[in-house]
Amino acid sequence: MVTKRSKKREEKLVKAAVETGGSQTRDIIRAFMKHKVSVVALVVLVIILIAAIVSGFIFSEEQITAITAAARLQPPSLEHWFGTDAFGRDVFARTVYGARYSLFFGLTTAALSLVIGTAIGSACAYLGGTFDIVVMRIMDSLVCIPSLLLMLALVAVIGRGMHGIIIALVVTSVPGTARIVRSIVIGVVQNEYVEAARAAGVTTPQIIWRHVLPNAFGPILVNILMNISGSIISASSMSFLGMGIQPPTPEWGAMINDALPLIRTSPYLIVFPGIAVLVTSLCFNLLGDGLTDSLDPHSR
């Protein structure tokens, strides 16, 4: 019975092994689909993204910030799903609209730190020597400073606007990306297949493009997804501390800060933006987890 089952399983594995191939993308998608939690996270993120985009067309900024004294502090109802705040603004609309800020910060920071971090990290890995030592020690010293303190200091110097926050977020996330990219590239370059490619007469740019980057891409991408969720939390934290986006703009951190005095009477004002931050950043993390496994050909 047992042998029969294991034989069947073996046949299935052989069949799968023979059938795989062709499109690598298809393999990755198939592997990713097996991670149910990550698929759910992806779906939720897509919904959040669509909501963020659509909300820009449905609500004007004025609608989101306009004060309606008559409707203030209503608990969640069919009319106002998440209730209304102290100024009578619909919390649901503000929360959905707030996704625009959080996603913008998260994605922009991640993209910038991917580009800058990959450039720094791979340059260090490839050039080595004094350049590597000096640059990496600078990165290390940046990591040593508690990131929230560093961000607050940078915002204080640069200013509280959008660009201030983004620069602060990028400066704090680049060192981590650079370190990870450097170690990944060093590891990949040492693989025998890179040497084998050289021995086969492959040119250096082709080696980097075909043999190094595809094998380094997975871990780097996962790091970037973690970066997005980190940046979302950091941006909200700064707004919560009053150093980021300022009220009445519906940034989640700023909304929580706004509602702090009302925590006993109207806790829903804090709960909904809080859940929004939690769900969004958690989904990016879960997506990263799923991709880690599906991008690694060994664990497919």
Partner 1 sequence: MADENLLVIDGLRDVLKLKNGEAAYPVDGVSFTVPRSKTVGLVGESGCGKSMTARTVMRILDKGISVAEGHITFDGEDLLALPEPQMRDIRGNRIAMIFQEPMTALNPSISVGKQVREAILLHEKVSRAEAKERVIQMFREVGIPEADRRYKSYPHQLSGGLRQRICIAMGMICNPDLLIADEPTTALDVTVEAQILELMKRLQRESGMSILIITHNLGVVADICDEVNVMYAGQIVEHATKAEIFNRPLHPYTIGLMDAIPRVNGDMEHDLHTIPGTVPALGNFPEGCRFCTRCPFADERCRTQAPALEDAGDGHLVRCFKPQEVR
How many CA within 13 A on the CB side of residue 53? Answer: 5
Assign 84 to helix, strand or coil.
strand
Residue from 43, 214, 260, 261 binding partner 1 (CB under 8 A): 214
Cα separation, 293 vs 95, in Å, equals: 33
Contact call for residue 297 and partner 1 (CB under 8 A): yes
Binding to partner 1 in span 256-275, by CB under 8 A: none
CA separation for the pair 272, 82 (Å, rounded)? 7
Task: Kindly give, in sequence order, each residue whose CB lies less than 8 Å from that of residue 33, ignoring residues fewer than 6 positions away.
Answer: 39
Q: Which stretch binds partner 1 (CB under 8 A): 34-42, 80-88, 103-111, 209-217?
A: 209-217
By C-beta, is 214 or 261 nearer to partner 1?
Answer: 214
Q: Is position 205 an interface residue for partner 1 (rule: CB under 8 A)?
A: no
* Alpha-helical segments (H) within 190-264: 192-199, 204-206, 213-240, 252-259
Contact 255, 246 (CB under 8 A): no
- Residue among 6, 77, 191, 246 that touches partner 1 (CB under 8 A): 191
| Residue 36 near partner 1 by CB under 8 A | no
Indicate the residue among 24 and 63 with the shorter CB distance to partner 1.
24
161 binds partner 1 (CB under 8 A): no
- Decide: is 192 part of the binding site for partner 1 (CB under 8 A): yes
Smallest distance from partner 1 to CB 118, Å: 18
The only residue of 2, 69, 70, 199 in contact with partner 1, by rule CB under 8 A = 199
- Closest to 185 measured CA to CA, from 161, 166, 207, 169: 207
Indicate the residue among 289 and 296 with the shorter CB distance to partner 1.
296
Segment 107 to 136, residues that bind partner 1, using CB under 8 A:
128
Nearer to partner 1, 20 or 249 (CB): 20
Tell me the two tokens of residue 42: 């992806």
Q: Which is nearer to partner 1, 1 or 17 (CB)?
A: 17
Binding segment for partner 1 (CB under 8 A), chosen from 4-12, 40-48, 211-219, 241-249, is 211-219
Count Cβ atoms within 10 A of the Cβ of residue 283 and give its class: 0-12 exposed, 13-18 middle, 19 or more buried. buried
Binding of partner 1 by 35 (CB under 8 A) = no
154 near 164, Cβ under 8 Å?
yes
Which tokens in the block code for residue 78? 């069919």
Residue 288 Cβ vs partner 1, minimum distance, rounded to whole Å:
19
Minimum Å distance from CB 203 to partner 1? Answer: 7
CA distance 118 to 134: 17
* Minimum distance from residue 122 beta carbon to partner 1 (Å): 16
Query: Are 28 and 293 within 8 A, CB to CB?
Result: no
- Helices 252-259, 91-127: crossing angle, 10 deg rounding: 130
Which residue in the set 62, 201, 205, 264 belongs to the binding site for partner 1 (CB under 8 A)? 201
Tell me the residue type at 226: M
137 binds partner 1 (CB under 8 A): no
| Residue 62 sits in the site that holds partner 1 (CB under 8 A) | no
Residues lying near partner 1 in the complex (CB under 8 A) are found at 17-18, 20-22, 24, 128, 191-193, 195-203, 210-211, 214-215, 297-298
